[in-house]
């Protein structure tokens, strides 16, 4: 992005906000305050803000529970037995999937384990998993426990890809070459969609294509990707994916996850899986009979009945995404991170002060910039926090900044720059 198009001035930030087609969506969220003033909330990559529509959405089901009790499962315009279904078409759009390929359920870690039961099927020679080094710890633990469950040593069975010396990002060609190099050993390629530490948006299309060429299953953890970057899982041919809904999807702390299972597996009834009541043929579910008969598509991986109140909050946020449109969200995201990068370079200084470890091209990153501070470190972060910034610290010296298109403004980014400028000027 050409950073010279930006200006570090309040007038410029106001002009950008006035031209922003999503500017009115900020009013759909509660913005936390500190000392009587709205905070600069750049932490949507950890927990998205609460949509104002959430309370009414949950209260409708609370009222139904109070008035109907157990009959709420079957009565009314939205019976609870179908609570997950309204989310499917919107999730499908966000993921570039078919509605039958997605379903909201469980939590991310539970879902990843369930999907690996089905799609990590090691054989004598092909038993290894390819993933990125420095993946989110939960993914590391899950992969290690899965290979150990099958009797393998994680040190041997898990191949971790690291950036080239002196670099922070994985090169796509290096990933593809690693797949080709180990094609006869790999049972699975399993990576994040957007890397949580650097914000790098991996080329999931190229990775899926290369893995598929060699008959290798491929899956993605989309915790930092869904609602953040454009996805086309169906066309890319990924076998499976999972995500959480409380980051960019703004659905509430610890709220429901979801899975994607490609249509090519929709009717594979004999695929290994852990079965549960809600994944059984819904036309015969209440006959309470033996013999699990999985529903087609992603719904065949369901275990338990739907978490109604969590799905109510989830739906309220998804409807905001439906109204805004992912194309507009992504366009603003690239502008916001571009402006943030410009402001950082204008205010913090040169390479002796900080290093941007996120991709320089907005199209190759999510709405996140990770700053490696060479001076000040945690003390600087704590000072910014005292002054009203809500961001995320990661050891050893990284601050993750995530201006989120639905509720952050260009004036937020300008205000961050002024805060940085003032705080650094005051340093001895």
Query: Tell me, what CATH number does 200's domain have?
Result: 3.40.640.10
Same domain (yes/no): 204, 162? yes
223 and 260 in a single domain? The answer is yes
Q: Provide the CATH number for the domain around residue 341.
A: 3.90.1150.10
Half-sphere exposure of 58 (CA within 13 A, CB side): 15
396 in the same domain as 299: no
The domain boundary, picked from 322, 356, 371, lies at 322
pLDDT in tens, 265-300: 999 999 999 999 999 999 999 999 999 999 999 999
Give 368's pLDDT tier (boundaries 50, 70, 90): very high
Same structural domain for residues 124 and 22? no
Percentages (nearest 5) of helix, strand, coil residues in the chain: 45, 15, 40
Domain boundary pick from 276, 306, 322: 322
How far apart, in Å, are the Cα atoms of 143 and each of 63, 165, 189, 208, 253?
Answer: 42, 25, 11, 19, 24
User: What is the percent of the chain with per-residue pLDDT over 70, rounded to a whole number?
Assistant: 98
What is the residue range of 291's domain? Answer: 58-322
Do 275 and 292 form a contact (C-beta atoms < 8 A)? Answer: yes
Whether residues 364 and 390 share a domain: the answer is yes
Same domain, yes or no: 74 and 137: yes
Residues 45, 122 within the same domain: no
Query: Two tokens at 80?
Result: 């609870």
Query: For 171-197, what is the mean pLDDT?
Result: 98
Confidence of residue 425 (pLDDT cuts 50, 70, 90): low
Same domain, 100 and 188: yes
Say how far apart CA 123 and CA 135 lie, in whole Å: 25
Looking at the fold, whether 120 and 196 belong to one and the same domain comes out as yes
Structure tokens at 228: 């953040």
Predicted confidence at residue 57, as pLDDT, reads 98
Q: Is the pLDDT of residue 426 over 70?
A: no
Is residue 59's pLDDT more than 80?
A: yes
Q: Which two tokens stand for residue 96?
A: 């570039």
One domain, residues 26 and 127: no
**Count of structural domains within the chain:** 2
Is pLDDT at 301 greater than 80 in this prediction?
yes
**R_g over Cα of the chain:** 23
* pLDDT computed for residue 423 by the predictor: 76
Do 268 and 366 fall within a single domain? no
Last residue of a domain, one of 299, 322, 345: 322
């Amino acid at each position: 992005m050409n950073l010279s198009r930006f200006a570090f001035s309040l007038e410029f930030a106001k002009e950008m906000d006035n031209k922003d087609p999503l500017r009115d969506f900020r009013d759909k969220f509660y913005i936390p305050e500190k000392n009587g003033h709205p905070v600069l909330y750049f932490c949507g990559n950890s927990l998205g803000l609460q949509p104002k529509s959430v309370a009414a959405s949950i209260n409708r089901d609370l009222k139904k529970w109070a008035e109907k009790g157990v009959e709420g499962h079957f009565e009314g315009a939205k019976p609870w037995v179908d609570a997950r279904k309204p989310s499917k078409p919107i999730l499908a759009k966000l993921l570039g999937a078919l509605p039958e390929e997605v379903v909201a359920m469980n939590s991310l870690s539970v879902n990843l384990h369930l999907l690996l039961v089905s799609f990590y099927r090691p054989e004598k020679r092909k038993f290894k998993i390819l993933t990125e080094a420095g993946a989110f710890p939960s993914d590391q633990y899950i992969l290690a426990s899965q290979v150990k469950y099958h009797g393998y040593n994680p040190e041997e069975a898990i191949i971790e890809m690291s950036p080239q010396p002196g670099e922070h990002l994985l090169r796509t060609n290096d990933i593809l070459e690693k797949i080709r190099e180990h094609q006869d050993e790999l049972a699975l390629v399993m990576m994040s969609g957007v890397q949580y530490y650097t914000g790098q948006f991996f080329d999931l299309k190229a990775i899926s294509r290369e893995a598929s060429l060699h008959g290798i299953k491929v899956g993605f953890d989309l915790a930092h990707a869904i609602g953040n970057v454009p996805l086309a899982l169906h066309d890319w041919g990924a076998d499976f994916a999972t995500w959480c809904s409380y980051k960019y999807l703004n659905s509430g702390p610890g709220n429901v996850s979801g899975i994607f299972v490609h249509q090519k597996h929709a009717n594979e009834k004999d695929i290994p899986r852990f079965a549960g009541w809600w994944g059984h043929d819904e036309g015969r579910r209440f006959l309470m009979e033996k013999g699990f008969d999985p529903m087609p598509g992603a719904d065949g991986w369901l275990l338990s009945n739907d978490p109604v109140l969590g799905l109510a909050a989830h739906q309220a946020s998804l409807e905001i995404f439906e109204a805004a449109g992912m194309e507009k969200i992504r366009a603003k995201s690239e502008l916001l991170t571009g402006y943030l990068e410009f402001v950082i370079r204008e205010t913090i200084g040169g390479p002796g002060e900080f290093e941007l470890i996120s991709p320089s091209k907005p199209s190759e990153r999510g709405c996140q910039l990770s700053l490696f501070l060479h001076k000040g470190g945690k003390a600087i972060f704590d000072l910014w926090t005292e002054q009203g910034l809500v961001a995320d610290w990661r050891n050893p010296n990284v601050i993750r900044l995530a201006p989120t298109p639905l509720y952050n403004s260009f004036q937020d980014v300008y205000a961050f720059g002024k805060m940085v400028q003032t705080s650094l000027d005051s340093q001895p």
